[in-house]
Amino acid sequence: MDYLDQLEAEAIYILREVAGQFERPALLFSGGKDSICLIHLALKAFRPGKFPFPLVHIDTGHNFQEALDFRDVLAEKIGEKLIVRKVEDTIRERKLVDGKGKFPSRNGLQTYTLLDTIEEFEFDACIGGARRDEEKARAKERIFSVRDEFGQWDPKKQRPELWNIYNGKIDKGENVRVFPISNWTELDVWNYIKRENIELPTIYFTHERECILTPQGQLMNTNEFVEIEPEDNVVIRNVRYRTVGDMTCTAAVESTAYTVDDIIKELKETKISERGATRMDDTLSEAAMEDRKKGGYF
Amino acid sequence: MELLRFFTAGNVDDGKSTLIGRLLYDSNSISTDIIDTLTKQSKAKAEDVDIDLALLTDGLRAEREQGITIDVAYKYFVTDKRKYIIADTPGHAQYTRNMFTGASNTDLAIILIDARNGITDQTKRHSIISSILGIPHVLICVNKMDLKNYDQAVFESIKKDYLAFAQPLGLKKISFIPVSALTGENVVNKSSNFLWYNGETLFDFLENVEIPQEEANNETRFQVQYVIRPQTQELHDYRGYAGALLSGTIRKGDQVRVFPIDALTTIEKIEKFENEVQEAAAGEPIILHLSDDLDISRGSTFVLENQLPEVSNEIDATICWMDNKPFQKGQKLLLQQNSFRAKVAIKSIEGKIDIHTLESTEEVSEIHLNEFCKVNIKTAELVSYDPYTKNRKTGAFILINENTNNTVAAGVIG
Ligand SMILES: Nc1nc2c(ncn2[C@@H]2O[C@H](COP(=O)(O)OP(=O)(O)O)[C@@H](O)[C@H]2O)c(=O)[nH]1
Ligand SMILES: [Mg+2]
């Protein structure tokens, strides 16, 4: 088998294990390329049947409109149930305070909404599109990652995970995060998108955009959450996004890539990692991701 | 393009993390921002170090603080020929279970030996684990050759000792490469310090080593993961058994026997991604349809009528205990083999395996963390299986503690 077939087979195997082992699973859908791939894989795993889980989007309120539109069209097209829960509502109900600083991120706050949503629907498994190549704490996480009642990850208490045997047995209140594309790299995802002809939101491809060029050299999208100050260097550039997370803290990269082929070529030439190029929140501390996961993050 | 999965093992400080870091660094697989971060972290730890490549895989806070590897880290790199999945496993004996986890589904073991120390207890332990797991190929990297003046005699003597030790283990294939992970010599690039060595560098070895296709050549085994029943108007009677073909080949029209119900039926249709196909090969995710209506659920196994597996409610196995609490007689356990689960009890512990000599002790009554034992297991239902040496997919299982839900042991049958 070709390596993409093997990665695909592994992911489908994992999705079917979720369907077989859990009562109330969910697929966390962000509108980004990784979760779009997950949906494509789920179609392959379960059609002609329906998905044995709804799609769940934790809407930070800091999303690109293109990604939201794309999400709705896709859910409609495949005829699967979509549940949306908003961080804004959590902030209001729980009287939380929004992120501060120049580019206020909601990456931390969305954990609350996620945990509330898990509780509301009693989800026992949440499928996510995280990959081990993204970040070094993720490189350590199991494919079936058991979280306690508070969604917390304890890296010292991970279950041994052998061969392709996945133990999803949990007590009530606990849940498992499942990562079917753990072993895929960013380039694998793009090669797969190309091979399978998967459609993506337009922000992944080059377009003209007004950005603030930060002193660190990152291109930050201007939007209603970011106040433009006189000293800001506002520029118009041809950019694309490598990830579509929280738009206030996700940087764009300069690019001339119009097609998936262009992107693959660009990725082979660039020497900067996906998170390094696009995320402001992980540079805060060496163990930023580990700490967020311990707190219940994906 | 092909996929090769391998793991690195060896004693603490033998240089596993450095070797992987070096492999990725010299093959241009590390992004510049990550190199920058690593350089900064390295400088913060020790002024005179340019870049400590071991920091690349030691991703947990506790690991960086203690400077050791606690859990498996997965790393990836790609060449024009192959994609590699690397499991960097911990060296400490106390983390043997994590090492077992990282090693379980790989095609190749890379075991490091510090040229100054020669074979250690950990070398033996990891080799025996590789042998129990049936890893098809073991590569011994004799590391830190720079500290032994690149002396050929040192390399040859370690090689000789290892072959003598490994002789009774029945490892399928063993290779040796002398390297210095720190300087990178013989990792990706050749070096004039190794003029006496005319074999491959580690990188060339990885590019050229044969990837075994064991599953494709084994007898046909399929297990149901999930039953697809749309129950819509158009698909009212649709009933498809979704799963992966674990090994062998399956064709439309094949006569198959289904376990545990022990019934004979025929493959009526094979679907792959909503297309009908005539046959499927090992590893492919498929949906099978049968010509008879049988009581089939998740965990049911299909085999060809002329390739029957062993079927029994008693199995002999070698297990590795992975729970902090020792096993005690009477514990309630579940056995999971792929998607099949059954209640089981360990009837007798026939002996503990000395992981340094492979010798077996007398009968014991407790099994402790990281110990290997030969056991006899009684199952509440019939289990269909193959000896692990014949089929790694159907000969492997885990044991789950019914109270804590933890995976407490991993086992190989036969
Ligand atoms: N001189 C020398 N030192 C090495 C070599 N490989 C690793 N080291 C050092 O040995 C120590 C342990 O290395 P590390 O990769 O963390 O070992 P691990 O515990 O097996 O992962 C570090 O200080 C390395 O710099 C080598 O080839 N030569
Ligand atoms: Mg290490």
More confident residue, B227 or A224: B227
Categorize the per-residue pLDDT at A155 as very low, low, confident or very high, splitting at 50, 70 and 90.
confident
Residues of A in contact with B238 (CB under 8 A): 48-49
Q: Which residues of A touch B406 (CB under 8 A)?
A: 159
Is residue A133 in a domain?
A: yes
Amino acid A110: pLDDT: 79
Q: How far apart are the C-alpha atoms of B174 and B186, rounded to whole Å?
A: 18
Same domain membership, residue A214 and residue A81: no
Q: What are phi and psi of B138, to 5 degrees?
A: -115, 125
Instruction: Give domain status of residue A28, yes or no.
Output: yes
Neighbours of B161 (CB within 10 A): 14
- Give yes or no: residues A61 and A175 share one domain: yes
Of the candidates B225, B262, B221, B253, the one whose C-alpha atom is nearest the C-alpha of residue B240 is B225
The residue segments making up the domain with residue A231 are: 202-283
Starting from the CA of residue B149, give the closest ligand.
Answer: 1
Residue A161 CA to ligand 1 centre (angstroms): 27
pLDDT at A104 over 70: no
Question: What is the spatial distance between Cα A205 and Cα A195, in angstroms, rounded to a whole number?
Answer: 17
* Residue A180: band (very low, low, confident or very high) from pLDDT cuts 50, 70, 90: very high
Q: Is residue A148 in a domain?
A: yes
Chain B, residues 278-337, CB within 8 A of chain A, namely 281, 283-285, 298, 322, 334, 336-337
What would the DSSP string read from start to end of A239-277?
EE-S--S-TTTBEEEE----SHHHHHHHHHH--S-HHHH
pLDDT at residue B264, rounded to an integer = 97
Secondary structure of A199-211 in the HEC alphabet? CCCHHHCCEEEEE
Mutation for A interface: B398, B403, B404, B408, most A CBs within 10 A: B398
Asked if A290 and A279 sit in the same domain, the reply is: no
User: Atom 24 of ligand 1 has which residue's CA nearest to it?
Assistant: B15
Angle at B393 between CA B387 and CA B397, to 5 degrees: 75
Q: What's the pTM?
A: 0.91
Query: For residue range A253-274, what is the model confidence (pLDDT) as tens digits?
Result: 888 889 999 989 888 877 666 5
Tell me, yes or no, if A1 comes closer than 8 A to chain B by beta carbon. yes
- Please tell me the distance from the alpha carbon of residue B208 to that of residue A38, in angstroms, as a whole number: 33
Which ligand is the nearest neighbour of the Cα of B70? 2
Q: Is A65 exposed, middle or buried (0-12, 13-18, 19+ CB in 10 A)?
A: exposed
User: Which of B214, B77, B58, B57 is CA-nearest to residue B135?
Assistant: B214
Angle separating helix axes B152-166 and B121-132, nearest 10 degrees: 50
DSSP labels for B142-165?
EE-GGGGTT-HHHHHHHHHHHHHH
Q: Is residue A159, in this structure, part of any structural domain at all?
A: yes
Task: Answer yes or no: is pLDDT of A284 > 50.
Answer: no
Hey, are the CB atoms on A273 and B31 less than 8 Å from each other? yes
Among A217, A243, A241, CA closest to A129: A243
Residues A69 and A153 placed together within one structural domain of the fold: yes
- Cα–Cα distance, A10 to A38 (Å, whole number): 12
Residue B99 CA, ligand 2 centroid: distance in Å: 11
- B284 and A163 within 8 Å at the Cβ level: the answer is no
- Confidence at residue B221, expressed as pLDDT on a 0 to 100 scale: 98
Tokens at A16, concatenated: 């079917």
What is each CA distance from B265 to A70, A182, B56, B224, in whole angstroms?
45, 37, 53, 15
Please tell me whether residues A73 and A147 are part of one structural domain. Answer: yes
- Most ligand 1 atoms within 8 A of CB, residue of B60, B182, B185, B189 to mutate: B182
**Cis (ω within 30 of 0) for the bond into A48?**
yes
Nearest CA to ligand 1 atom 2: B144
Residue A193 lies in a domain: no
Per cent of chain A over pLDDT 90 is: 44
The whole-number pLDDT of residue B329 equals 84
CB pairs under 8 A between A and B: 161
Q: Is there a domain that residue A196 lies in? A: no
Note whether A174 and A267 are same-domain residues.
no
For residue B405, the SS3 value is coil
Helix count (H) and strand count (E) of chain B?
A: 8, 24
H/E run at residue A42:
helix A33-46
Same-domain status, A17 and A124: yes
Tens digit of pLDDT at every position of chain B (414 positions): 899 999 999 988 899 888 998 888 887 777 777 777 777 777 776 666 667 777 766 666 666 666 666 778 888 888 889 999 999 888 777 788 888 889 998 999 999 999 999 999 889 989 999 999 999 999 999 999 999 999 999 999 999 999 999 998 989 999 999 999 999 999 999 999 999 999 999 999 999 999 988 888 899 999 999 999 998 888 888 999 999 999 999 999 999 999 999 999 999 999 999 999 999 999 999 999 999 999 899 999 999 999 999 999 999 999 999 999 999 888 889 999 999 999 999 999 988 988 777 788 877 888 999 899 999 999 999 999 999 999 999 999 999 999 999 999 999 998
Give how far A57 is from chain B: nearest CA, Å: 25
Answer whether A273 sits within 8 Å of B240, measured CB to CB.
no
Give the A window 52-81 contacts with B, CB below 8 Å.
Answer: 52
Distance from C-alpha of A266 to C-alpha of A228, rounded to nearest angstrom: 31
Between B32, B72, B230, which is nearest A272 by CB?
B32
What residue type is A110 in one-letter code? Q
CA distances from A122 to A39, A126, A262, B348 (A): 22, 11, 43, 41
Instruction: Say if CB B390 and CB B412 are below 8 A apart.
Output: no
**Window A:110-149, CB contacts with B under 8 Å:** 132-133, 135-137, 139-140
A71 vs A139 pLDDT, higher one = A71
pLDDT of residue B214: 83
Domains detected in chain B: 2-212 (3.40.50.300), 216-304 (2.40.30.10), 310-413 (2.40.30.10)
Diameter of chain B measured on Cα atoms? 77
User: How many domains is chain A partitioned into structurally?
Assistant: 2
Identify whether residues A87 and A211 lie together within a single domain.
no
Label residue A282 by pLDDT band (50, 70, 90): very low
Overall average pLDDT of the A89-106 stretch: 73
Looking at the CA of B59, which ligand is closest?
A: 2
pLDDT of residue B59: 61
Distance CA B159, CA B376 (A): 37
Peptide bond into B260 cis (omega under 30): yes
A278 and A149 part of one domain:
no
- Say which of B70, B101, B240 has its CB closest to residue A162: B101
CATH for A42:
3.40.50.620
Q: Are A251 and A290 contained in the same domain?
A: no
> Do A100 and A176 sit in the same domain of this protein?
yes
B184: left (phi over 0), alpha (psi -120 to 50) or beta: left
Nearest to B338 among A49, A165, A271 (CB): A165
Q: Is residue A194 part of a domain?
A: no
CA of B111 to the centre of ligand 1 (A): 14
Confidence category of residue A283, pLDDT binned at 50, 70, 90: very low
* Residue B114: φ, ψ to 5°: -75, 120
How far is ligand 2, taken at its centre, from the CA of residue B144, in Å?
Answer: 15
User: Are A75 and A184 in a shared domain?
Assistant: yes
| Half-sphere CA count of B43, side-chain side, radius 13 A | 7
Q: What angle do CA A100, A135, B89 make, to 5 degrees?
A: 145
pLDDT at B344 (0 to 100): 97
Say if A238 falls within a structural domain.
Answer: yes
A234 pLDDT tier (thresholds 50, 70, 90): confident
> Which of B2, B73, B100 lies closest to A140 in CB terms?
B73
pLDDT, position A188: 94
